[in-house]
Structure 1
Amino acid sequence: MNPNLLKQLAIIIKQGSISAAAEQLFVTQPTLTRAIQQLEQKVGAPVLKRTRYGVTPTEIGERLAAIGEKILAESEYSNEVIRQWNSGFRNEFTVGIDPLWEYSTVAQTTRHFIDEPRFAFHLRTGSAAAQIQLLKEEELDFLLGPAHVTVAQSTLSRTIVFRDRSAIFAGKHSPLLQHKQLIEEPVLQRQKWFVAGASAGFMNSNLPIQDNAAKITFTSSIRSVIHLLNTTDMLVSLPARLALMSGEILPEQMLLTDERFMPRRDIALWSRQEHNERPDYQRIHNDILTFAKGLDEHTPTYGLAL
């Protein structure tokens, strides 16, 4: 199979018309039409359906276009590798980052990776479960993410680099902000809740919301979480130090609650064990380790028992 045919199919479907795709590819429309005919002869069935609004894929066309998308992405990545080599970078590392870590430490994290002279970095955020899976599949080199995840870790190394606990935060319009004493579980259960990130799943089953289902759930969304804490009376559980480091959540929004509602939410540096002997890999591992532990040492504890 000529991979160019699959790339062309992917672009046609993305553009929604052969003429628009021909413009993007700098070829004539008849040339692109012949390419699709050649692909359809190979398949033995149509890959496109013509409609009054353009073209849409058939079932087999959609599947082949998905492969074409991957070829396009790999092609662009190869061009970037060449650009990096010509610019003096001799390796690229892909680092997964917890969304709240990325949000709260954006200045320090970006400055740290930019200041590394010899290597290029691809930083990506996402949920802990998804990122751990990518690390296992070697789509990531490192992960700065939750330390306490219930996944098989036989191929992974984990070093805790930033100490934290979850805490319950109230929106700025919550009457609970006036409470200066311990807030009991029945009171918490009567509140309106939303859940964010790890607290929505396996990491914190002790949240006092069993009798009052959360109205809305976020995964890897930080701006929406901040917005609700600034504009509503709703409650949410978040990693306390990272949340307060953002500067957009006030210390007085952290409620005084029973310690069982404040499980550990440390950040760890995750890596693959089999790569630990590579000198360049070990250098970046130690570099990230030093950086993250430095942030831990210089970040207030906000009265948390760490």
Structure 2
Amino acid sequence: MNPNLLKQLAIVVKQGSLSRACEQLYITQPTLTRSIKQLEMKVGAPVLKRSRHGVIPTEIGARLAQIGERILADTDHGEEVIRQWHSGYHNEFTLGIDPLWEFAAYREMSDHFLREKRYVFHLRTGSAAAQIGLMQAGELDFLLAPAHLTVAQESLQRDLLFRDRSGVFAGKKSSLIRRKGAVALDELERQNWMIAGASAGFLDGQGELAGPTAARIAFTGSIRSVLHLLNTTDMLVRLPARLALMTGEIAPEQMIEVEGKPGPRRDIALWSRTEEGERPEILKVRELITELVTGMDQKTPTFGLDL
């Protein structure tokens, strides 16, 4: 089967319109119509059907469009690999990053990777639970994410590199800021809470300090909105304390002392697939990332946390 037919079908399905697909493909509508008919002759059934809003795929059309999407992605990646080879790069590595880590360490991380002349780095930000799945599917080479997760971890290697604990942070309009002594749990329950990392797969529940009242808003894979609310409201949230303070967007006095034991560990680990651990290129890049993260662990203040 001509893979170009599947690529064209994928674009039609994505656009939901033959005319818009023609604009993207830079071809005429009669040309695209002939391609679709050629594909339908091969299948022996329609791959598209009309709806009130344009065209939608039939069952077999949707399955073939998914294959076309993968062909499009692989084609784009292949062209980029050729550009990398002509530019003298040895290999490309995909690194997943926790959103708060990216925000707190973007400057050091970017400078560190740009100094490495042999490799190309593709940095991908997202929640830990989702990225662990991508790693197990072979779509990530490494992942910088929380070390203590409830997600399935078979066939993965974990190296703890950055020490941290969960801390409770109050928005700048909260009366709890600069409170002397620990805040009692019953008072915490009366506060307005939000949740960060709602689908990250942390071992500890994030709601036990807030009591039975539901958090007013929750974020997955987002940190910018959390920081905005900490700067403009009285809301409370639990975050990895060192990383949160490393952003420079949160004042140290916004981390409040709470009644009971210290917050749970929120260490950052370097995750990788065990089966690829002995490849020379993997070992070199692991060493590069480890040097960066352990260096940041050593120079970052502990902010009074028991680490």
Q: Where on the TM-score scale, by shorter chain, does this alignment land: which range?
A: over 0.9
Map 1:152-231; keep pairs closer than 5 Å.
152-197=152-197, 202-205=202-205, 207-231=208-232
In 2, distance between residues paired with 1:93 and 1:15? 31
Give the CA deviation at 1:16: 3.2
Give the CA deviation at 1:173: 1.0
Contact 1:199 1:238 survives alignment (8 Å): no
Query: Which residue is equivalent to 1:50?
Result: 50
Query: Which residue is equivalent to 1:252?
Result: 253
Give the CA deviation at 1:201: 5.1
Residue 139, structure 1, aligned to residue 161, structure 2: no
Give the CA deviation at 1:44: 2.9
Query: Which residue is equivalent to 2:87?
Result: 87
Query: Which residue is equivalent to 2:295?
Result: 294
Q: CA-to-partner distance for each residue in 1:81-122, whole Å, 9 max, x for gaps? A: 111011001111111111100011111111111111000111
SS in 2 for 1:176: coil
Task: Indicate the larger mover: 51-60 or 188-197.
Answer: 51-60
State percent identity of aligned pairs: 62
**Structure 1-normalised TM-score?**
0.94
Contact 1:199 1:237 survives alignment (8 Å): no
Contact 2:150 2:201 survives alignment (8 Å): no
Q: CA-to-partner distance for each residue in 1:21-65, whole Å, 9 max, x for gaps? A: 223323332121011111222333322233565433334323322
Q: One-letter code of the match for 1:252?
A: E
Count of residues in correspondence between the two structures: 306
Task: Indicate the larger mover: 8-17 or 135-144.
Answer: 8-17
Q: Which ranges of structure 2 fall in alignment gaps of 5 or more residues?
A: none
Q: Which ranges of structure 1 fall in alignment gaps of 5 or more residues?
A: none
SS in 1 for 2:45: coil
* CA-atom RMSD in angstroms: 1.8
Distance 1:136-1:54 versus aligned 2 partners, 3 A rule: closer
Distance 1:198-1:213 versus aligned 2 partners, 3 A rule: closer
Residue 305, structure 1, aligned to residue 288, structure 2: no
**Structure 2-normalised TM-score?**
0.94
Q: One-letter code of the match for 2:253?
A: E
Query: Which residue is equivalent to 1:265?
Result: 266
SS in 2 for 1:237: strand
In 1, distance between residues paired with 2:285 and 2:63? 38
In 2, distance between residues paired with 1:114 and 1:274? 27
Distance 1:101-1:13 versus aligned 2 partners, 3 A rule: same
In 2, distance between residues paired with 1:131 and 1:16? 30
In 2, distance between residues paired with 1:291 and 1:113? 9
